[in-house]
Structure 1
Amino acid sequence: MWYNGLLDLSVWQLIAVTLVMTHVTIIGVTVYLHRYSAHRSLELNAGLKHFFRFWLWLTTAQNTREWTAIHRKHHAKCETVDDPHSPVIKGLSTVLRKGAELYRAEAGNPDTLRIYGKHCPEDWIERNLYSRYKLLGIALMAVIDLALFGVLGITVWAIQMMWIPFWAAGVVNGLGHAVGYRNFECKDAATNLVPWGIIIGGEELHNNHHTYPNSAKLSVKPWEFDMGWAWIKVFSALRLAKVQRVAPIAHRVEGKRHLDMDTAMAILNNRFQIMAQYRKQVIGPLVTQELTRADVSVRHQFHRAKRLLSRETSLLDDKHQVRIQTMLEHSQALKVIYEKRLALQQIWLKTSSNSHDMLAAIKDWVHEAETSGIQSLRDFADQLKTYSLRPSYA
């Protein structure tokens, strides 16, 4: 019948088609807009790029330059008053409810587009169609949906229109800086929502991305899955994509017992993984040990100690700082490993521009760790000596 549209699909078929179309939109955002345009972590075939540009014009009305500029600014100004959509600054509720409005407001800032929107499409079709008639695409999509799916086509269209504002502008930009787990203590509050990035194409792994923003692969741990990366592998096999960068791989040489320039550069490249190992191998066991030794009257002071002692200092509020100081007053060992953690971070913050100074600082740090009298710290210092550089294979 005419009201079922040209395809005359059943309800279940219509649901399947809708999910496929929204998935294509998600892949367009994560692979084309995010990993290619904003971060240049891969190259894409010209035909594939234009397909995504056209599809996103139909389904989101999003402009490549605007999206790219806003995202780059988000990374450059993350969790500051200049961040276009930080839940830390604007409030989680605001970002969840008004993520799309925040995007549109920032898209109207000419300075954002000028500073952060470089190297985006400026061809004839961009100037005369995609940018000039942004709403024409979604209007055309409404007509197509109605023609193909009948009266239910308007429901399909509505789902397509809310898919990115809800999942990307709301969930990733909001919840991705508020709830979830953190593999790495990057400078901002980014979290991984779940280990399996399927619904939002891998964007669920937001902490991984903020730690390694220029990596084409957002999954890091063996149990994590990045749907966007799976599609990149397919595109690469079809010679439609070429990966430029992925996160560095921490490589260890068993039996290596000396610190050299190779070690220093490997530690610098893999500093986030190394700090995660410090949390797991040094802070965690020592917190457990000190908790069993502590008097019952002060054990409550060690609540969530592992997380607090591992947390990026810029993300700690005054209350957390006081709790940390209280813990350190009750345990000399915790004080030592906490200070050593901060000292290790300072090495690459202060000496990364001079490899010889960095190597000397690492040697001093290792020597102090070896003479600390804390076994887990000595073991970690020995492990640092085994790190070495190697190419980052996907």
Structure 2
Amino acid sequence: MVILIFIAVLWYSGLFFQTFFLHRYAAHQTYKMSRFGEKLCYVLTWITQGSNYLSAYGYGVMHRMHHAYADTEKDPHSPKYDHNLFTMMWRTKSIYQQINQQKVKIEEKFTKNVPQWEGFDKFASSWGSRIGWAIGYTAFFYFFATAWWQWILLPVAYMMAPIHGVIINWFGHIYGYVNFKVSDTSKNLFHFDWLMMGEGYHNNHHKHGGRANFGGVRWHEIDVTYYIMILLDKMKLIQLKPVAKVTREL
């Protein structure tokens, strides 16, 4: 039971900062926050994602490119141009690293106002940090695993963020339903997105990329992350941009 709770905590805490900070803030800037809040989110992203830490800059720029080039040859991750999810994610990793390490020239529209903390990213993305977290995860399993099958979950702990990416960027472009006609294959993966905290409403998001609430188009589309953001807004920790009500087209 301890191991299952550990995996659940890693899953939802890491996912929250991916969707709240990396996605809705760094890439789409659906809200504002102080410089201190931004720095704190960097540190909390590192703590919750651990061995699979993602840079706000690398993620933000790449995600903007995904929206601009969705399901074309320039898309950093599209099932349409990769034979399987492993080749897609390997290509995604390569593009992410090139962006994050600034080894490729990027148009200004993709980098404008994307937060960047180079010193912290260098530390949090280092092999020393990643291996340190991996050792910590392994030690936790050593002390608390009570059955052989629980060790199968250890690679999930190591690779949590890439697994989150696969669910949305691969399966969210193949399976599900649509509310809007868009120029790509994005779909709403779940009717109620309990697994991905709102990220699964991918078709809604591709239609209204700058909207903080990924759900809310149908009655059952509850975006848990957005309701947490409302609470943070009321606490004056962030400042949400107005969210327009939208109606499905299909």
Determine the structure 2 residue equivalent to 1:166.
163
CA contact (8 A) 1:146 1:152 kept: no
TM-aligned CA deviation for residue 121 of structure 1: 3.6
Determine the structure 2 residue equivalent to 1:111.
105
Residue 236 of structure 1 pairs with residue 233 of structure 2: yes
Residue 44 of structure 1 pairs with residue 40 of structure 2: no
Q: Flag the 1:190–1:62 CA change in 2: closer, same or farther, 3 A.
A: same
Q: Secondary structure at the match of 2:72?
A: coil
Which residue identity is paired with 1:20? Answer: V
Residue 85 of structure 1 pairs with residue 70 of structure 2: no
Which residue identity is paired with 2:208? Answer: Y
Residue 53 of structure 1 pairs with residue 42 of structure 2: yes
Q: Flag the 1:38–1:124 CA change in 2: closer, same or farther, 3 A.
A: closer
Determine the structure 2 residue equivalent to 1:214.
210
Q: Secondary structure at the match of 2:93?
A: helix
Determine the structure 2 residue equivalent to 1:187.
183
Determine the structure 1 residue equivalent to 2:131.
139
CA contact (8 A) 1:69 1:113 kept: no
1:241-390 equivalent positions in 2, closer than 5 A? 241-246=238-243, 248-249=244-245, 273=247, 276=249, 279=250
TM-aligned CA deviation for residue 103 of structure 1: 1.6
Superposed CA offset, 1:252-308 (max 9, x none)? xxxxxxxxxxxxxxxxxxxxx37x1xx5xxxxxxxxxxxxxxxxxxxxxxxxxxxxx
CA contact (8 A) 1:39 1:214 kept: yes
Determine the structure 2 residue equivalent to 1:339.
none
CA contact (8 A) 2:51 2:134 kept: no
Among all aligned residue pairs of Structure 1 and Structure 2, give the percentage whose two residues are the same amino acid.
22
Q: Flag the 1:187–1:165 CA change in 2: closer, same or farther, 3 A.
A: same
TM-aligned CA deviation for residue 48 of structure 1: 4.4
Q: Flag the 1:59–1:43 CA change in 2: closer, same or farther, 3 A.
A: farther
1:63 to 55, 69, 85: 55
TM-aligned CA deviation for residue 167 of structure 1: 2.6
Determine the structure 1 residue equivalent to 2:114.
120
Q: Flag the 1:159–1:44 CA change in 2: closer, same or farther, 3 A.
A: farther
CA contact (8 A) 1:186 1:210 kept: yes
Q: What is the RMSD computed on CA atoms of the aligned residues? A: 2.6
Query: Quick check: which one's helix share is greater?
Result: 1
CA contact (8 A) 1:218 1:226 kept: yes
Which residue identity is paired with 2:214? Answer: L
Which residue identity is paired with 1:240? Answer: L
2:65 to 73, 92, 102: 73
Cα separation, 1, equivalents of 2:91 and 2:114: 21
* Unpaired segments ≥5 residues, structure 1: 1-11, 251-272, 280-394
* Unpaired segments ≥5 residues, structure 2: none
Q: Flag the 1:123–1:82 CA change in 2: closer, same or farther, 3 A.
A: closer
Cα separation, 1, equivalents of 2:118 and 2:171: 38
Give me the TM-score of the superposition, normalised by structure 2: 0.82
TM-aligned CA deviation for residue 46 of structure 1: 4.1
Determine the structure 2 residue equivalent to 1:317.
none
TM-aligned CA deviation for residue 43 of structure 1: 1.9
Q: Secondary structure at the match of 1:184?
A: coil
Q: Secondary structure at the match of 1:80?
A: coil
TM-aligned CA deviation for residue 189 of structure 1: 1.4
CA contact (8 A) 1:179 1:191 kept: yes
Larger Rg: 1
Which residue identity is paired with 1:221? Answer: R
CA contact (8 A) 1:61 1:137 kept: no
Cα separation, 2, equivalents of 1:47 and 1:17: 28
TM-aligned CA deviation for residue 22 of structure 1: 1.7
Superposed CA offset, 1:16-35 (max 9, x none)? 13201221100011010000
Q: Flag the 1:161–1:221 CA change in 2: closer, same or farther, 3 A.
A: same
Give me the TM-score of the superposition, normalised by structure 1: 0.54
CA contact (8 A) 2:137 2:157 kept: no
Residue 16 of structure 1 pairs with residue 12 of structure 2: no
